Amino acid sequence: MLLEELRTAVVQVGKELAASGLVLGTWGNVSAREGDLVAITPSGLPYSALAPEDIVVVDLEGETVEGKWRPSTELPLHLAVYRKRPDVGGIVHTHSVGSMTLAACHHPLPPFTEEQAQLIGGRVPVAAYAPPGTEELAQAAVAALGEGKAVLLANHGLVGVGKTVEEALLTCQVVEKSAQIYLWACLLGGPVLLSEEEVRSLRENFLRNYGQKGAGG
Ligand SMILES: [Zn+2]
């Protein structure tokens, strides 16, 4: 993929993120990786005004390769995930209400909806608290994420990953929706959780059978 396409994909997902209400103002951030290069949203610019040339391109050590702005302050977190997970091609970080509620209570999101089981493949853990933008937060997030698709940042927000940046956005949308349903379900005494075996079977069937052959998830 050309660098220009990578930057355009980051802009499109950033605008969709803002439009879907998962972030307010300039909070949250979006990145996509191609090989050893990462295209990431700039620090403090509103999503509505973003153009591909505003996206900063850095290497895996965080050195700017192209771009006129400073990269997102959560760059260390994005880089730590990419370094640890060669399968990840996109990362989205949101400050969405349902996920932040769970994150504020250090409460993981258990698997209880079929879409969470299918797309996320299990519970969403909470990373240990660390201040935003720090290497400490990056390491805590990577440790809690493991081989998973999403992690809650204690007292902060949500990070979702995917093979592409579009898939990372879908991860965040599904986790946020599940988090909101979970909170409502707790008012009715708590959801009935899916068993580990059921979650595994839903995930495996989804990976095997969903969508058109060769077209991906
Ligand atoms: Zn944040």
* Residue at 216 is within a domain: no
Looking up residue 8, the CATH number of its domain turns out to be 3.40.225.10
pLDDT digits (tens, 9 = 90+) for 37-83: 999 999 999 999 999 999 999 999 999 999 999 999 999 999 999 99
Region 125-133: mean pLDDT is: 97
* Residue at 215 is within a domain: no
Q: Is the pLDDT of residue 214 over 70?
A: no
Ligand 1 (single-atom ion) residues, CB below 5 Å:
157
Task: Indicate the pLDDT class of residue 217, thresholds 50, 70 and 90.
Answer: very low
- Express as a percent the part of the chain with pLDDT over 90: 91
Region 111-115: mean pLDDT is: 91
Cα–ligand 1 centroid distance for 132 (angstroms): 6
Q: Which residues are catalytic?
A: 74
pLDDT at 213: 57
Task: Indicate the pLDDT class of residue 17, thresholds 50, 70 and 90.
Answer: very high
Domains of the chain: total: 1
Cα–ligand 1 centroid distance for 201 (angstroms): 33
Cα–ligand 1 centroid distance for 73 (angstroms): 9
* Residue at 190 is within a domain: yes
Q: Do 52 and 67 contact (CB within 8 A), yes or no? A: no
Task: Indicate the pLDDT class of residue 168, thresholds 50, 70 and 90.
Answer: very high
| H-state helical runs in the chain | 3-19, 75-84, 97-104, 114-119, 135-145, 165-187, 196-209
* Residue at 214 is within a domain: no
Q: Is the pLDDT of residue 16 over 60?
A: yes
pLDDT digits (tens, 9 = 90+) for 181-209: 999 999 999 999 999 999 999 999 999 98
Domain extent, residue 61, equals 4-209
State the Cα–Cα distance between residues 149 and 38, nearest whole angstrom.
Answer: 19
CA distances (Å), origin 71, targets 36, 130, 131? 16, 20, 18
* Residue at 24 is within a domain: yes
Q: Is the pLDDT of residue 211 over 80?
A: no
Q: Do 109 and 152 contact (CB within 8 A), yes or no? A: yes
Task: Indicate the pLDDT class of residue 215, thresholds 50, 70 and 90.
Answer: very low
